[in-house]
């Protein structure tokens, strides 16, 4: 057996680990003033999960995904969701080739490493559901034929705030497939000045510039890195803590519907990635607390009374986390 073949069964190299921990800083060279959003998207990549990003248009969501794809040399596609978008426009379809006089499969934009599903709530549920199989099973079925997706595969879906006109709420089955839900907001004044200066300095138009991004990883390195992170040590008390948080959420005052079993699973997956980025080989209770808002906010539905009073899921989750005792180290 050659050294190369022998290494293929081992974990990621030290260079790969360092490259993964440098992703946030590298993406920040192009995406200015969104440190928390960048951090949570990198978390999702390392935890092999998908991300739902909510925010008004024009805040750099496309630039964020393009920058991530550039930093890991991955394939990028963008789909603009509209009311008339069909499921086959995402997954692909069978077409007749006039030259060969045979039917062939035309693969859709879902066949990539990083898919930006832009304004996903602009399309009805039938079209949104076209992503369910790809997100859950890493495969796509076209006219009865199944095609695997090459890892890594990350869906970053964006949605406008639901109170805007012309939007459809995502069904819970779709929401549950996202590991994290993150909010992207307007940058601080200093960051916005830096952003305006960067975009307008000698450039024509407002094209997205990712030329400053250096590739730190190759796409084919990501699955091995994800496997390494998935094997970080988690004490049984930490598992119990994640489960207690979710079970409490199901009965918490003000929460009408709590997370299902994917809730604690998402907590532990994201917490492992958080521990990795903190340069630790084990998960701490603080890792669970750090990822809990992003991992759970889309899995809870507040009571009508709290919604009328203007409460947000994060406020209720913060109250819950403050009242669930964490394991002592």
Tokens of 127: 């079209």
Spatial distance between the Cα atoms of 168 and 164, rounded to a whole number of angstroms: 10
% of the chain surpassing 90 pLDDT = 55
Lowest mean pLDDT among 78-82, 112-116, 191-195, 311-315: 191-195
In the predicted model, is pLDDT for residue 263 greater than 90?
A: yes
Cα 42 to chain centroid distance, Å, stands at 8
Spatial distance between the Cα atoms of 259 and 248, rounded to a whole number of angstroms: 10
Residue carrying structure tokens 């991992």: 295
Tokens of 89: 């426009």
pLDDT digits (tens, 9 = 90+) for 32-42: 888 999 999 99
For position 12, what pLDDT does the model report? 85
Spatial distance between the Cα atoms of 100 and 316, rounded to a whole number of angstroms: 60
Tokens of 99: 């030259």
Buried b (16+ CB within 10 A) or exposed e, 40-64: bbbbbbbbbbbbbbbbeeebbbbbb
Domains with residue ranges and CATH for the chain:
13-218 (3.40.50.300), 232-329 (1.10.8.80)
Spatial distance between the Cα atoms of 294 and 282, rounded to a whole number of angstroms: 20
Lowest mean pLDDT among 187-191, 228-232, 268-272: 187-191
Residue carrying structure tokens 């909510």: 54
Cis ω before 152 (30° cut-off from 0): yes
For position 275, what pLDDT does the model report? 96
Residues 147/107, Cβ–Cβ less than 8 Å: yes
For position 285, what pLDDT does the model report? 96
pLDDT digits (tens, 9 = 90+) for 48-67: 999 999 887 777 888 888 89
For position 272, what pLDDT does the model report? 97
CA angle 291, 293, 299 (to 5 degrees): 115
Spatial distance between the Cα atoms of 142 and 130, rounded to a whole number of angstroms: 11
- Average pLDDT over the chain, rounded to an integer: 87
Residues 270/244, Cβ–Cβ less than 8 Å: no
Tokens of 253: 């005052």
% of the chain surpassing 70 pLDDT = 93
Residue carrying structure tokens 């192009």: 30
Buried b (16+ CB within 10 A) or exposed e, 155-193: bbbbbbeeeeeebbebeeebebbbbbbbbbeebeeeeee
pLDDT digits (tens, 9 = 90+) for 273-294: 999 999 999 999 999 999 999 9
Element (H, E) at 304: helix 304-308
């Amino acid at each position: 057996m050659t050294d190369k073949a022998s290494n293929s069964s081992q974990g990621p190299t030290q260079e790969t680990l360092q490259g993964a921990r440098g992703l946030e800083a590298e993406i920040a060279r192009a995406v200015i003033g969104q440190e928390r959003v960048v951090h949570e998207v990198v978390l999702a990549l390392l935890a092999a999960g998908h991300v739902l990003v909510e925010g008004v248009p024009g805040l750099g969501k496309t630039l964020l995904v393009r920058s991530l794809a550039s930093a890991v040399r991955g394939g990028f596609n963008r789909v603009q969701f509209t009311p008339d978008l069909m499921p086959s426009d995402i997954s692909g379809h069978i077409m007749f080739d006039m030259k060969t006089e045979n039917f062939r499969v035309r693969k859709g934009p879902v066949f990539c490493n990083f898919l930006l599903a832009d304004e996903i709530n602009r399309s009805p549920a039938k079209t949104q559901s076209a992503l369910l199989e790809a997100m859950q099973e890493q495969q796509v079925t076209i006219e009865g034929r199944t095609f695997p997706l090459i890892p890594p595969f990350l869906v970053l879906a964006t949605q406008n705030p639901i109170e805007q006109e012309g939007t459809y709420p995502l069904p819970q089955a779709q929401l549950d497939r996202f590991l994290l839900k993150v909010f992207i907001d307007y940058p601080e004044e200093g960051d916005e000045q830096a952003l305006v200066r960067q975009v307008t300095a000698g450039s024509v138009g407002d094209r997205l510039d990712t030329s400053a991004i250096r590739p730190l990883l190759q796409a084919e390195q990501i699955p091995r890195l994800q496997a390494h992170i998935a094997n970080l040590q988690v004490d049984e008390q930490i598992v119990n803590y994640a489960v207690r948080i979710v079970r409490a959420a199901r009965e918490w005052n003000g929460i009408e519907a709590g997370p299902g079993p994917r809730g604690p699973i998402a907590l532990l997956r994201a917490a492992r990635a958080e521990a990795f980025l903190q340069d630790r080989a084990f998960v701490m209770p603080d890792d669970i607390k750090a990822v809990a808002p992003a991992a759970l906010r889309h899995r809870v539905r507040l009571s009508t009374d709290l919604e009328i009073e203007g409460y947000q899921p994060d406020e209720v989750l913060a109250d819950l986390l403050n009242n669930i005792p964490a394991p002592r180290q």
